[in-house]
DNA sequence: CCAAAAGTGTTATCAATACACCCATGT
DNA sequence: ACATGGGTGTATTGATAACACTTTTGG
């Protein structure tokens, strides 16, 4: 079983940094830790890797077990491996960041396991080094979202341009010019205009759009410059 | 010692994907694997994580032990965690990519441990999933180098613009317009012109430059667009 | 008819490219 | 003197951003 003799084996966990958007604010999903120590303190959703699982499998399993969410956008992110990060026993954490539309999953999430959404500027104390993970992941989210159309993952299947703009403004904590924003996004060719309008937030009403899925996949890796003056955020 | 009961502990290794540049070609540094199985087959430089080490520490130690190199540019890269990737025993690999100037270290490397530089288009068979690691890392190198001035790490302290251009052309396997390239790089403000000229490669001679270290650090995270038409590479 | 939000048009500025041309010098 | 590579100048194109203006419709 231990074929490489004399080596040190380490517990390996996955932790998911789950961002959501409710139409107004970008939020982060946390759960209460179920193990001692720090039981009951807020924590990222995580779990240990099982013998037959890859870290990616483990992250997807953890997410599904705890929230019922499947087929979520999830990226491997960073390894946190300071030998003292978990005071109980050395544990390596492979982190993932995930993006979901809050409304689509609100019901599943209101259940037994008490996950809760937190505003980014109002985060509770978190276990171990989870606060650091979140800080770095948010930076990474901003970085990646400036170049690639990942934030669409946070929106429902149909959405308006003003909603999209509110999302970008939430992520970058700033305001963009409405007129340039809509033209820039439309010029990517990623959006398909629908007949229907959203009349909730204005009298004129804003057209709904949906993603052009094939165009989205083809252009995902291109550098799109979706954010004005991106340099100022880095 | 095992404080979280009933969990599965895993061997964790680090593997370093080391890119170098000799003035003409971009190359990758490999060593012969010292353990069975596949002993003697080419491999990335790697080793297991010790109990008191973070993965970053381990990567630096491995690099120093095997090559004598210290203070090398190194980025945490990706975790490879397929449970079957090492047939001997499950081993998680945390990979790093490193960039060094080949000439500065040629002597150290010619020693006992038989590391060897390989051209990217002439790579030998490699152990386990190391070939996959290299493929993905090269993509990542191209991605990052298009936006951030990392390739300077591959050059000596003083270098000419034509040398720099040869490096970029090697990384992207294409040719850039000399005139635009030099103006674009100079306009970043990252370069300081020296009095001396390199007369090796032309009669006129090309001025040497060095990095403006503080400017380099300040602007490292900015999006610089150092590569013409970067989209076509992704 | 007015307020409020959606979205189009217009223009100035700047960056990126393509390419003509001049420069320095070893042979 | 001339071939070779280094480097500057210039025109064109296109993207960006700032901002005026029109459009729609519920109250």
Residue-wise pLDDT for A63-97, tens only, equals 999 888 889 999 999 999 999 999 999 999 999 99
pLDDT of residue A2 exceeding 80, the answer is: no
Give φ, ψ of A91 to 5 degrees.
Answer: -140, 125
* Å between CA of A205 and C1' of C2: 17
**Where is B192: in which H helix or E strand?**
strand B191-198
Q: Within 13 A of A147's CA, how many CA atoms are on the CB side?
A: 21
- Sequence length of chain A is 234
- The strand C neighbours among A residues 174-193, by Cβ under 7 Å, are 178-180, 182-183, 186
**Mean pLDDT, residues A111-133 taken together:** 89
Q: Delimit the domains of chain B by residue range.
A: 11-147, 150-233
- For residue A147, the model assigns a pLDDT of 92
- pLDDT per residue as tens digits for the range B61-81: 999 998 888 899 999 999 999
- For residue A34, the model assigns a pLDDT of 85
Which of the four pLDDT bands, split at 50, 70 and 90, describes residue B123?
very high
Which of the four pLDDT bands, split at 50, 70 and 90, describes residue B125?
very high
**Mean pLDDT, residues B131-142 taken together:** 96
Distance CA(A224)–CA(B33), nearest Å, equals: 42
A12:B221 CB<8 A: no
- For residue A120, the model assigns a pLDDT of 92
pLDDT of residue B38 exceeding 90, the answer is: no
pLDDT-above-70 percentage for chain B? 96
**Which nucleotide lies nearest residue A231, CA to C1'?**
D16
B82 Cβ under 8 Å from any chain A Cβ: yes
Q: Shortest CB distance from A234 goes to which of B83, B222, B230?
A: B222
Gap from A30 CA to chain B (nearest CA, Å): 22
The nucleotides of chain C lying under 7 Å from a protein CB are 3-9, 15-21, 23-26
Which chain A residue is nearest to residue B89, measuring alpha carbons? A3
Distance CA(A97)–CA(A130), nearest Å, equals: 13
- pLDDT per residue as tens digits for the range A13-67: 999 999 999 888 999 999 998 888 888 899 999 999 999 999 999 999 999 998 8
Class of domain A150-233: mainly alpha
pLDDT of residue B110 exceeding 80, the answer is: no
- For residue A109, the model assigns a pLDDT of 54
- For residue B108, the model assigns a pLDDT of 60
| A113 closest CA partner among A182, A33, A55, A179 | A33
**Residue A113: Cβ-neighbour burial (10 angstroms; 0-12, 13-18, 19+):** middle
pLDDT of residue B227 exceeding 90, the answer is: no
Tokens of B213: 């270290």
pLDDT of residue B107 exceeding 80, the answer is: no
Residue A80 · residue A129 · CB < 8 Å: yes
Distance CA(B75)–CA(B78), nearest Å, equals: 10
* Å between CA of B207 and C1' of D1: 25
Distances from the Cα of A170 to the Cα of A22, A145, A159, A176, angstroms: 11, 12, 16, 11
Q: Is B176 helix (H, G, I), strand (E, B) or coil?
A: coil
A51 Cβ under 8 Å from any chain B Cβ: yes
Q: Which of A109-123, A156-170, A197-211 has the lowest mean pLDDT?
A: A109-123
- pLDDT per residue as tens digits for the range A177-233: 999 999 999 998 899 999 998 888 888 889 999 999 999 998 898 888 888 877 777
Q: What CATH number should be reported for the domain whose range is A11-147?
A: 3.90.79.10
* Optimal mutation site among B61, B86, B223, interface A, most CBs of chain A within 10 A: B223
B48:A10 CB<8 A: no
Query: What Rg do the C-alpha atoms of chain B give, in angstroms?
Result: 20
Query: What Rg do the C-alpha atoms of chain A give, in angstroms?
Result: 20
pLDDT of residue A129 exceeding 90, the answer is: yes
Which of the four pLDDT bands, split at 50, 70 and 90, describes residue B209?
very high
Q: Is B17 helix (H, G, I), strand (E, B) or coil?
A: strand
Residues of B in contact with A229 (CB under 8 A): none
Tokens of A191: 């959006």
Q: Which of A139-153, B48-62, B191-205 has the lowest mean pLDDT?
A: B191-205
**Mean pLDDT, residues A132-159 taken together:** 94
pLDDT of residue A126 exceeding 60, the answer is: yes
Q: Which of A134-138, A225-229, B85-89, B136-140 has the lowest mean pLDDT?
A: A225-229
B7:A10 CB<8 A: no
The reply to whether A201 has its C-beta less than 7 Å from any atom of strand C is yes
Choose between B107 and B185: higher pLDDT. B185
């Amino acid at each position: 079983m231990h074929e490489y003799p004399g080596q040190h084996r380490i517990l390996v966990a996955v932790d998911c940094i789950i961002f959501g958007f409710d139409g107004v604010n970008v939020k982060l999903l946390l759960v209460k830790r179920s193990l001692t120590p720090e039981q009951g303190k807020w924590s990222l959703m995580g779990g240990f890797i099982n013998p037959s699982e890859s870290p990616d499998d483990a992250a997807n399993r953890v997410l599904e077990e705890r929230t019922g969410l499947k087929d979520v956008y999830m990226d491997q992110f960073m390894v946190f491996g300071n030998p003292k990060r978990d005071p109980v026993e050395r544990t390596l954490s492979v982190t993932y960041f995930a993006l979901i539309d809050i409304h689509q999953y609100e019901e599943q999430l209101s259940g037994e396991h008490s996950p809760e959404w937190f505003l980014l500027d109002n985060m509770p104390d978190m276990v171990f080094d989870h606060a650091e993970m979140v800080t770095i992941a948010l930076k990474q989210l901003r970085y990646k979202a400036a170049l690639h159309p990942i934030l669409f993952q946070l929106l429902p299947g149909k959405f308006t341009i003003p909603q999209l703009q509110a999302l970008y403004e939430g992520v970058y904590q700033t305001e963009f010019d409405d007129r340039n924003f809509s033209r820039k996004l439309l010029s990517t060719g990623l959006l398909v205009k629908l007949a229907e309008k959203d009349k909730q937030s204005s009298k004129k009403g804003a057209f709904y759009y949906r993603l052009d899925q094939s165009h989205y996949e083809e252009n995902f890796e291109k550098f799109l410059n979706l954010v004005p003056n991106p340099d100022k955020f880095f």
